[in-house]
Chains A and B, each alone.
Chain A
Amino acid sequence: MGAYVVGGAALKIDRHFELGYKDLAYRVVRDCPECSDVDYVIVASALPELSAHQVDLGIHVVQWIGRRVPALRVESGESSGLAAVDLAASLVSSGRARRVLVLGVEKVTEYPTYTANYFYSLTLDYEYEVLRGISPPAYAALAMKELMNSGVRRECFSGWAIRMHENAVSVPHAMLRFKISLESFKDSQVLAEPLTLYDSFASGDGAAAVVVSSKPNEGDSSPEIVYSGAEVGLPAYLRDRVSDLTASVGLLRRAAERLGLDLRRAAVELHDSYTVYPIAILKGLGYLDDRCDLGGFEYLNLSGGLKARGHPVGATGVYQVYEIFKLMTDGLGGRTAPAEYGLAHSMSGPDNSSRVVVLRR
Chain B
Amino acid sequence: MRLSPQQFWRIRENQYRLFITVCGSCGRKAILKRPVCPYCGSDRVHHVESSGLGVLESFTKVYYRRNSSEDDLPKFIGVVRLTEGVRVVGEIVGVGADELREGMEVEAVLRRYASDDPYGVIYYGIKFKPV
* Given known contacts A132-B91, A134-B89, A237-B89, A112 and B68 CB-to-CB distance under 8 angstroms: yes
B-side interface residues toward A, CB under 8 Å? 1, 7, 11, 14-15, 30-32, 38-39, 58-68, 75, 77, 79, 87-91, 113-114, 123, 125-127
A238 touches B30 (CB 8 A): yes
**Beta-carbon contact of A192 and B58 below 8 Å:** no
Shortest CB distance A356–B (Å): 23
A137 to B62, Cβ gap below 8 A? yes
Distance A342 CA – B23 CA, assembled complex (angstroms): 42
Chain A residues contacting B113 (CB-CB under 8 Å) are 131-133
The proximity string for A residues 272-300 relative to B, scoring 1 for CB distances below 8 Å and 0 otherwise, is 00000000000000000000000000000
Q: Can you add 9 more A-B contacts, CB < 8 Å, to A237-B87, A242-B79?
A: A117-B65, A118-B1, A131-B123, A132-B113, A134-B89, A135-B66, A142-B58, A192-B62, A234-B39
Asked if A237 and B31 sit within 8 Å, CB to CB, the answer is yes
Looking at the assembled complex, report how far the CB atom of A108 sits from the nearest CB atom of chain B, in whole angstroms.
Answer: 14
Contacts of A234 in B (CB 8 A): 38-39
Contact A118 B60 (CB under 8 A): no
**A23 sits at the interface (CB 8 A):** no
A141-B62 contact in complex given A131-B113, A132-B90, C-beta closer than 8 Å:
yes
Whether the pair B30, A138 counts as a contact (CB closer than 8 A) is: no
- Given A191-B63, A237-B31, A238-B38: A131 in contact with B58 (beta carbons within 8 A): no
Q: How many Å from the CB of A277 to the closest CB on chain B?
A: 16
Query: A94 near B: Cβ within 8 Å?
Result: no
Q: A-B pairs with CB below 8 Å: how many?
A: 94
Q: How far is the CA of A146 from the CA of B64 in the complex (A)?
A: 20
Sample of 25 A–B contacts (CB below 8 Å): A114-B65, A117-B65, A131-B123, A131-B125, A132-B89, A132-B125, A133-B62, A133-B77, A134-B89, A134-B90, A137-B62, A137-B64, A141-B60, A142-B59, A142-B77, A145-B60, A191-B63, A192-B60, A192-B63, A192-B64, A193-B62, A234-B38, A235-B38, A237-B31, A238-B87
User: In the bound complex, what is the Cα–Cα distance between A191 and B61 (angstroms)?
Assistant: 8
Expressed in whole angstroms, the Cα–Cα distance for A21 and B63 within the complex equals 30
Contact A142–B79 (Cβ < 8 Å): yes
Name B66's contact: one of A117, A189, A192 (CB within 8 Å).
A117
Number of interface residues of A (CB under 8 A): 33
Any B CB within 8 A of the CB of A236:
yes
Flag if B60 contacts A127 (CB, 8 Å). no
- With A145-B60, A191-B64, A238-B31: A133-B38 Cβ-Cβ less than 8 Å: no
Interface positions, chain A 54-81, Cβ under 8 Å from B, are none
Report A-chain residues with C-beta under 8 Å of the C-beta of B66. Answer: 114, 117-118, 121, 135
In the complex, what residues of A have CB within 8 A of residue B65's CB?
113-114, 117
Nearest B residue (CB) for A146: B58
B15 to chain A, nearest CB (A): 8
Give the one of B7, B14, B60, B88 with max A CB within 10 A. Answer: B60
| Cα distance A235–B62 in the bound complex, in angstroms | 20
Specify which chain A residues have a CB less than 8 angstroms from the CB of B38 in the assembled complex.
Answer: 234-235, 238
Measured between beta carbons, the chain A residues less than 8 angstroms from B15 are 131
Q: Across the interface, which residues of A come within 8 angstroms of B7, CB to CB?
A: 127
Closest chain-B Cβ to A178's Cβ sits at a distance in Å of 24
Closest chain-B Cβ to A313's Cβ sits at a distance in Å of 15
Q: For A190, give the chain B residue with the smallest CB separation.
A: B63
| Smallest Cβ-Cβ distance to B65: which chain A residue | A114
**Cβ of A17 < 8 Å from any Cβ of B?**
no
In the complex, A189 Cα to B77 Cα: how many Å?
18
- Residues 149-193 (chain A) with a chain B CB within 8 angstroms: 189-193
Given known pairs A128-B32, A131-B114, A132-B89, the reply for A114 and B61 (CB within 8 Å) is no
